[in-house]
Structure 1
Amino acid sequence: MSHTEALESVERGDYPRALVAAREALSEADAGQVRLTLAWIELERGNPRGCARELRKAREFGVSPARARCLDGLRLCAIGAYEQAVTELSAVMDSLQADPKWLSNALIGRGVARGYLLRLPAADRDFAEAARILTHLGEHERVATCIHNRGFVALQAGDLPTALELFEQASDGIRAGRAEALIDHASALLAAGMTRDASALLERAEPLLAGRASRLAEAVLAAGYCALRAGDIDHAASEAKRAQELFRIQRRPAWIAAADALALRTNLVDVSAARRVADRCLRWGKRTEAAELLLDAAKVAPDLLTKLEGERNANTARLRAIGWLARAKLATTSQARTAACRAGLRVITQYAAAMGAGASELAAELAAVAIDGTRRARTVFGWIERQRITLLPRVHTADLVQLRAAESNGDIRNAVRFENRLRRRVSAIHRHGDVDRVRAAIGDRFLVNYFMHGRELLACTIADGQVRSHRLGPLDPVELRYSAELSEKLDAQILEPLGIGDRSLVIIPATGMSDLVWAALPSCSGRPVSVAPSAGAWLSATRSTPGTSTFAVAGPELVHAQREVALVGHPTGKSTVDEVLADMDGADIVHIAAHGTFRRDAPMFSCLRLSDGPLYGYDLARLKRAPRILVLSACEVARADVFANVLLDRGGQALIASSMPVPDEAAVDLMVAFHQHLKAGVAPAKALADAQARYGHLGFSCWGSG
């Protein structure tokens, strides 16, 4: 085999074959150049010691000192010695000006090191300059790699939508065998809360990593963090152990520290070990891993919070929010605690769309700290509202059309691609209800605002002009999934103690309550109940004004849909997605009877099946003005918050939808009775309650203001 064959195998990512070819070429080619290639191969295989050994031999044979020094800088970056890598690679730049390919190598390596050191503008400049050089050289795949690396910078900055967009932009130019691209993309999806999608990418990456122990170890570590986020502690622990072993064999101290941090988070019994590992993470540039480990460990050793206070001025929004959370927990006065919680929530509110899944979790933790410091029910209500963050899709019609086409053609790969493109196009709204405005608007109704404080459920109620707070005890999240079966037990815990009387109810659920079937609870039976994502959203819904028309639509392959639509007594509309949306814009009452699909892994892509394909929650963002009342006679779509969130954001009053599978024959009588009550001038929540009292609840709730 020749040196050329070795280089071609490197380009293909076939490092075992490249190693064999390079070793065989030692006797036939320039030994210095071959040794340099061997050093590169050993680095890619996860053997930094072997890389250093081959570099020494390459220098003995008179290889280019600048190239050898550049590769040594890349080796330092691979083991996590980022400061040394930046110094070494910066020093060799001038010597590589006449060697553009290796200059781009140095720029990319320095960009990666700066990225891990959170010197993010400088890292981005390095990748942009490398891309310019590689474009001139015609190396288009490596240009795509630079775009991908700019996504890595955005990910380090906590800007998840930009990271996902850059990874997507780069994906067409990077060959399918580039596992590192899949690993980085999976990390961004994980940060955005898309655990299942991240795990799927990592499963694709692992078989591509044969003979590349360094990248395999990184994929294993990422899989461990996926398992931790998903709550699978046992799997996270096993992946952490596997990553620890791989990184130790490779002698990569920065990554060993990151794997040790994950292992400790799965079984935190040794606080002193957590302190030591966090210090090692900080020493090797793993700042986020250190912060998250210390935050977990501080639950049993609060003094560790002093190590986190300084993150208030960090480069990323997540670290800044963690810093303010630490300061709030350390505060010795109510004034200082409140100020820190407000500052942390300001950071989260400003960057919620970029922060992804972690934004709501940190907001809830800050609110919990503030609530612990007060006994005033009005103040508790205010903090519960402040921590509520709603993510809304931003309309992008072309991608929705492409997604529908991919799904109808069974093209799963492109369907996933367009889903990911749509998911990063979100905006965050933070519409909390002022307690005095809510109290003035509530009238003779009874409002309950729930909040999960750790494992304990809190409630703030407003009724008869009074604001009260209630501690309702520990709540098992699993029970919420079986609320129809455990209705009496749940009712006794979360509603009976509140003293509702015979008043209408307004419920603001806590995070995790989307599966709860409110109509199944005895206290809700026969009672008008309105459910809203926040008190502010409920207030907005009370101001909704009538629309201009009414119509009903039947989706395909639903036996009783046509009969239901005929009997509800509204004009019948056409059932294609575009026609339904056009008729829906500015309408007064819209009724859709169709198959519904709830996506637990991606609730925003829950949908209704119309004649030409799915109507997604995302599609409602295309409306300038939502219908005043939207009735979705379909299975489970109420579990997808996106339908209610968009409807209320676009000026709607009420969404009628079910969080259970709905037998279509049984739904007909319920829906007909509901519309008869509406036509008689009955408010939506009471119209639904009266119909349910006769025909059963079927899981339907009124979202908004009834």
Structure 2
Amino acid sequence: MTVSRADGISLSRTLIAQSPDVARRRAEQTLAEDPSPRPRATALWLLGMARRELGESDTAHRLLYQAAAVASRAGVPDTAAHARASRLGSMAMRHGTSGMAGTSLGRMSTAVSSARALVPLHLGVAAAQRGRFGSALAGFDTALGEMAGADEQLLCGLLSNRGLALMYSERFGEARHDLERARSIAEERTLTYLHGVTVQNLGCLAVRNGDVPGALSLFAEAAPLVPAARQAALWLDRTDALLTAGMTGQAEHALTEVQRLLPPRGASTSDLTAFSLLRAKIHLARGASEEAGRHAQRVRRWFPSDSMWARLGALLEWAARNGTSHSHALGPVAEEAARGTGIRNNRKAPRPRSRARPHSSVPDVRTGAASAALARCVPTTPLGPLSVAVPNQRHTDALGALALGEHERARSELLRRPADGQPAVAVHHVEAIAQTRTHSQEIASAGAEIAMADGDAAAALEWVEHSRTPGIRPSPCRDREWGGLLERCRSEYTRADDGEGTAPEQLRSTTARLGIAQWHSGCARPSAPPRTVAPLPQEFRRHLRDRVFLCYAHVGGAPVAFTFSNGRSGIHELAPRGEIEDAVAKLVSAARFNAVFPGGAAQRDLTRAAQRVEHALLRPVAAAVGDRPLVIAPAAYAQSLPWGLLPSLRGRDITVVPSGRSWLESLDHCRGARGTALLAAGAGIGGGETEVRSLRRLYPGARVLTGKDATVRTLLEELGGADVAHVAAHGWTPASAPMLSGLSMADGPVFAYDLERLPRVPNLCVLSSCWLGRSVPSDTGSPLGLSSALLALGSATVVAGVLPVRDHDITPAMTRMHGAIHAGATPSRAVADHLADAGFVCFGAGA
């Protein structure tokens, strides 16, 4: 196959569609042979197009100019027309269709039928690059009409571009039709490069449809099919998908990879636009409003006002300026942006469907909070450089119900199936579920604020619970690639722990990949329909009995506590957030120091710090809780608090949970049998084997793992079949990667991630280790760590410490605690009596 044949243009286009790099080498080989003018013109055109696809736009422009000149002198009109259209199209992509290149391209006409479709095609691509998708579709439709008799390579490229433009125009069904047709042509004709581009575009469509795992799977499929020059664009799309999933940390890592891949000079306008929009959103999520606004303003100024990219930049710029504002209106910049993107003007609350009360009679506080909620939905939901995520009809209907104070109907709207009846696709990993941020969480915050303003404690608590309830349950992961990456992480962790020089850097890279890799298609499936749940007060009346439910939250930016006891809900104001966080941090620090160096000044510091937290968190609710047992759902600042060290809680029966509904679910898990026991001691624990031996008499049929038998694989196998598990081992909870919290066994670490591969987890888990009761709040506030993972995966009760544990000193207390449970005490009662002073906490049901 050479480019000197009569069908050179069609053949050349096939070469580029298969591999731009191969096309470049073939063209260079032909030119090196000093061909006659005809094949030389075709080779120059091929080389110019290949260079363009490889990201070398300046070189491509020069080569295409030469190709057109050589073809004209040689009397080859088809090659000259193709070269001229390609050169003007490249210029229009960089400078816009309204510039000289776009004008010249628009005026260009050709009698060469094979080139007739190129002019509107290039105009369409240039318009799409500038964010003008209506104009882009007009160009693509014209090109499609001129496509009769054209080769399938050109049709494949046209359909792939048209599918993306249809997606941005919210015509998702047509977009999928075009992209699937392009994919079919690419596969049939072995057009590798075009196949990869089309798969990438299908991934973008999956992001828009909420199928993040499917999107990431498609991006992974596209990666080996496209050249290095397109890898930055692929990583930009990955970043967009991760932000759509609410995984800001992983998105930030992905954007770092983009920075590495972008050329220092000559990056495409589309890549730079996407990079700046994504960077603005990440800064916004991190609270860096000034940086976010700077990146967003840059994008807005790059494009004319009718460009989607300009409108997205304007929305993000507004969000950066007003992100903490509770203004009732979007403001002029955002309103102008909203008019062009389909986002509803938010100057008034949505018109509710109910006619029970006229809209004009709604109090200002309700209208304002619902309006502010819709405003917050716009900037905090990832808008994507290639997507515009907006609240759907369910969200606006929920806000309409909120505007009338109809809280129950508002929650029902949020749980309603989408209008198309298609279930959303969900990944069932603990961290992915915890990280997911949805419009409904923003609306839940508004609902709690409105209920608080009305003094309706029960409704406010229901909304807080709604924001903490993920709606998706984790389930075992069977994905082999995920398992392989986890084993690689374990190996790198062990090598880093042994002091191998390059291992820490490799471990950091693999850790970041693990976070992203959770969104894989191997464990993604349609989410179950929302369950109908009884109102929380009704459930509490049935199950709390003599306990008091105590929930700490932020509503309207202020810390509050909710209580439920004796069938009644209460709201309690707390000290300012900064004061609470400072008091908690000082208590945790003093408790850790006292755990390592007990007594004397350390004990006095601990006592003073505990009294300060008591004053901030417990004195405001003292009348409501009295001295009764507590179920505590802490705010993010108190997720690792040693509650049993607070003066009024010493010796009190306490269990700590993510939310009230999670406590009710944990009670359901208590109904399983407790027959099979596992007792294990990890590596390097001097008192671990002694502890296991002391417990063996209480569990005579227990499976015991010590010494070299206590391997990672054996421990995981036994955990999957045990009802009660006690593990004494070194433990850790890294703040930057809480799902790598772990236990040190004979041959390496067991991570929280490992638990997601088990068929089931024990009903009662006791972790006799340092730190493993600690959790790290995700971006949405959900706790992440080994103990919280066990609860999420189905353990009823987890006993774990939030402080350092002195090895041999803890054995007698652990033995007494298990003895109390064996004698009939609940785990929460046994922890209060024997382990709370050592910083251990009972999580979950406690029953």
Band of TM-score, shorter chain = 0.7 to 0.9
Shift of 1:347: 5.9
Distance 1:414 1:445, change over 3 A: closer
CA–CA distance in 2 between the matches of 1:375 and 1:125?
52
Which residue identity does 1:181 align to in structure 2?
Answer: L
Give the CA deviation at 1:130: 1.1
Query: Take 1:291 and 1:600, find their aligned partners in 2: how far apart are those partners?
Result: 38
Matched, 1:443 2:545: yes
Q: Which runs of 5+ in 2 are unaligned?
A: 1-30, 32-43, 72-78, 351-364, 379-386, 428-432, 493-505, 590-608, 776-782
Is 1:594–2:729 an aligned residue pair?
yes
Structure 2 equivalent of residue 180 of structure 1 = 233
Task: Give the superposition deviation at 1:536.
Answer: 3.0
Post-superposition shift, 1:625? 4.3
Does the 8 A contact of 1:385 with 1:535 survive in 2?
yes
Q: Residues 237-279 of structure 1: CA distance to partner in whole angstroms, max 9, x if unpaired?
A: 232233334x24x887321221122112111389899544334
Q: Tell me the SS of whatever aligns to 1:533.
A: coil
What is the DSSP-based 3-state SS (H/G/I as helix, E as strand, rest coil) of the residue aligned with 2:280? helix
SS class of match (1:88): helix
Matching residue of 1:453? 555
Do the aligned partners of residues 273 and 658 (structure 1) sit closer, same or farther apart at CA in structure 2, a change above 3 Å counting? same
Provide the C-alpha distance between the structure 2 equivalents of 1:606 and 1:61, rounded to a whole number of angstroms: 68
Residue of structure 1 equivalent to 2:359: none
2:712 is the counterpart of 1:577: yes
- Relative distance call for 1:294 and 1:213 in structure 2 (3 A) is farther
CA deviation string 1:121-175 (max 9, x = no partner):
2111111111112222312232122122112112122333332332233333333
2:205 is aligned to: 153
* CA distance in structure 2 between the partners assigned to 1:656 and 1:580 by the alignment: 18
Whole-angstrom CA distance in 1 between matches of 2:80 and 2:537:
78
1:631 aligns with 2:766: yes
Query: After the TM superposition, which of the residue ranges 144-153 and 666-675 deviates more from structure 2?
Result: 666-675
Deviates more, 1:194-203 or 1:644-653: 644-653
Kept after mapping to 2: 8 A contact 1:13/1:177:
yes
Which among 821, 826, 844 is matched to residue 683 of structure 1? 826
Separation in structure 2 between the aligned mates of residue 145 and residue 667 of structure 1, nearest angstrom: 59
SS across alignment from 1:27: helix
User: Which of 397, 410, 414 is the equivalent residue of 1:340?
Assistant: 410
Amino acid at match of 1:22: L
2:393 and 2:802 map into 1 onto residues whose CA distance is: 37
Bigger radius of gyration among the two: 2
Alpha carbons 1:308, 1:323 under 8 Å: kept: no
Instruction: Determine the C-alpha separation between the residues in 2 that align with 1:169 and 1:227.
Output: 29
* TM-score w.r.t. length of structure 1: 0.86
Selected match of 2:244 from 182, 191, 202: 191
**Match of 1:112, as an amino acid?**
L
1:196-215 matches, within 5 Å, as 196-206=249-259, 207-209=261-263, 210-211=265-266, 212-215=268-271
Query: Which residue of the other structure, out of 542, 545, 553, is the alignment partner of 2:680?
Result: 553
> How far apart, in 2, do the equivalents of 1:347 and 1:315 lie?
21
Identify which range, 449-458 or 218-227, moves more after superposition: 449-458
Distance across 2 between alignment mates of 1:242 and 1:174:
29
Q: Which moved more, 1:269-278 or 1:617-626?
A: 269-278
Q: How far 1:423 sits from its partner (Å)?
A: 3.9
Aligned to 1:39: 88
Q: TM-score, normalised by structure 2?
A: 0.72
1:495 aligns with 2:618: yes
Equivalent position amino acid for 2:558 in 1: E
Please give the alpha-carbon distance, in whole angstroms, between the structure 2 residues aligned to 1:434 and 1:304.
27
Q: The residue matched to 1:674 in structure 2 has which SS?
A: helix
What CA distance in whole angstroms lies between the structure 1 residues aligned with 2:409 and 2:94? 50
Letter in 2 for 1:494: L
CA-CA distance at 1:339 after TM superposition: 2.2
Note if 1:327 corresponds to 2:450.
no
Partner of 1:521: 646
Q: Secondary structure at the match of 1:36?
A: helix
Alignment counterpart, residue 395 of structure 1, candidates 459, 473, 476: 476
SS of the residue 1:199 aligns to: helix
1:367 aligns with 2:409: no
Asked if the contact 1:598/1:606 (under 8 Å) is kept, the reply is yes
Give the deviation of 1:13 after TM superposition.
Answer: 2.3
CA-CA distance at 1:57 after TM superposition: 7.3
Counterparts of 2:803 and 2:211, CA distance in 1: 36
2:347 and 2:49 mapped to 1: Cα distance? 41
8 Å CA contact retained: 2:553, 2:559 = yes
Distance in 2 separating the partners of 1:369 and 1:450: 14
- 1:504 and 2:554 are equivalent in the alignment: no
Q: Where do 1:295-306 residues align within 5 Å? A: none
Q: Which residue of 1 aligns with 2:592?
A: none
The offset of 1:186, in angstroms, is 0.1
Query: For 1:251 and 1:438, how far apart are their aligned partners in 2?
Result: 54
Equivalent residues in 2 for 1:266-345, closer than 5 Å: 266-268=320-322, 274-285=330-341, 287=343, 318-329=391-402, 331=403, 333-335=404-406, 338-345=408-415
Contact 2:216–2:519 (8 Å) recurs in 1: no
In the alignment, which of 123, 127, 141 is matched to residue 76 of structure 1?
A: 127
* 1:496-544 superposed Cα distances (whole Å, 9 cap, x missing partner): 2222332221112346643444334333332221012332332343351
Length, aligned pairs only: 694
Name the CA shift for 1:433/1:687 in 2 (closer, same or farther; >3 Å): farther
Q: Is the 8 A contact 2:694 2:815 kept in 1?
A: yes
Aligned equivalent of 1:241, options 290, 297, 303? 297
Does the 8 Å contact 2:681/2:710 carry over to 1? yes
Comparing 645-654 and 148-157, the one that deviates more: 645-654
Contact 2:727 2:766 in 1 (8 A): yes
Which amino acid in 2 is paired with 1:10? R
